[in-house]
Structure formats: structure tokens, C-alpha cells
Amino acid sequence: MSHALVGLALLAAITLANALLTAAVVRRWRTAVATPAPAPVAAPDGPPALAVQEGDRAPEFTVPAPGGDLTAAELAGHPALLYFLRPDCGPTRESLPAVQRWAEAHAPEGARVVAVVNGAAEGAGPLLEAVSAFTELTAVEPPDGPLAGTFGVRHHPSFVLLDADGTVVETGIGNGSLTALDLVTT
């Protein structure tokens, strides 16, 4: 009879331990289910914007270019258009003639166009050929590369127009900004 009591006590202890563990698991499960999932991060309101705005000084930058690195200081003394493109972007291709017209219209002032292709180098060839007609300053950097990051470029094409003092005169994103940058000349 004593063995039966010991066995019964042992069974009761195991059952009690099982009930306590089950209650703890259920409590944790209910907490996990009741906790709402974090809300997705919403895109900022308003139109896309660059990290630089009209009136800002151009940030210091270095563009690794085929003819040697180009810095912000080397653009001083001339108006400059930083033109961010992407090889697989239709609006980029559509913007090329307007940017070429701007480059030709402002060449007498010594204006320079710096074309920065954001994308894989092996896919940039045709785009580099297209922009070589109006700029000798080109660079290819990976998507979200350092120069695009410096200027906050997330959409293509994007434009930053600098005056001869290195002050941002205008910025633009997409072909709709060509008029604002006065890139559409006759």
C-alpha cells in the first residue's frame, strides 16, 4: 500500500508540474498574440525630396571619375549640374535631350554637367555613351552609392544645380522637374 501512495504522490507532483508549465506557455502565447505587430514605417508625406535644398552649400564630395577624382572644390567658379541617372530608368532616357540642351545653352558660362550613373557598371555603357555628348565628367557608382547618399538621391533622374559659388540654386526629381530647373530651353 505504501508503494501505491508514493506512486500516487509522484503522479500528482508530475501532473501539478505539467499544469504549471502549460499555464506558463499559454500565458506567453496569449501575450505574444495580444501584442500588436509593429506598424510599418510610413513613407514621408509630400513629394520626394533630396537631402540638399535651395540655398544650401553643396556638401563636400568626391566623384571617382575616369579622368581622376572630381571634388566639389574643383567645380567652384562655374555653374554645375549634378545629374543622377539610372541605366534601367525610362524617365532618365527621356531627360537626356533636355539636359543636353541645358549644357549647350550654358557652355559659354563654363557650366559643367556631372553625370552620376547609379547602377551596375556593366549596364552603364549605353547611358555613358549617351551623356558623353554633353559632359566629360561621368561617374558610375553602385545603387545608393556614396554620392547619391550625400545628396539624398532615391529617385531617378534627380538634379542638383549649383551656382559658381557652390550654392544649391535648384533641385529636382524626375522629368517634371526639368521645367523648374529651367532645363527646357529653346
pLDDT digits (tens, 9 = 90+) for 100-118: 888 888 888 888 898 899 8
Question: pLDDT value at position 160?
Answer: 92
Q: What does pTM read for this prediction? A: 0.70
* Mean pLDDT, residues 121-145 taken together: 85
Q: Residues 142-172, buried b or exposed e (16+ Cβ, 10 A)?
A: eeebebbebbbbbbbbbbbbbeeebebbbbb
pLDDT above 60 for 45: no
What is the C-alpha to C-alpha distance for residues 117 and 145, in angstroms, rounded to an integer?
A: 10
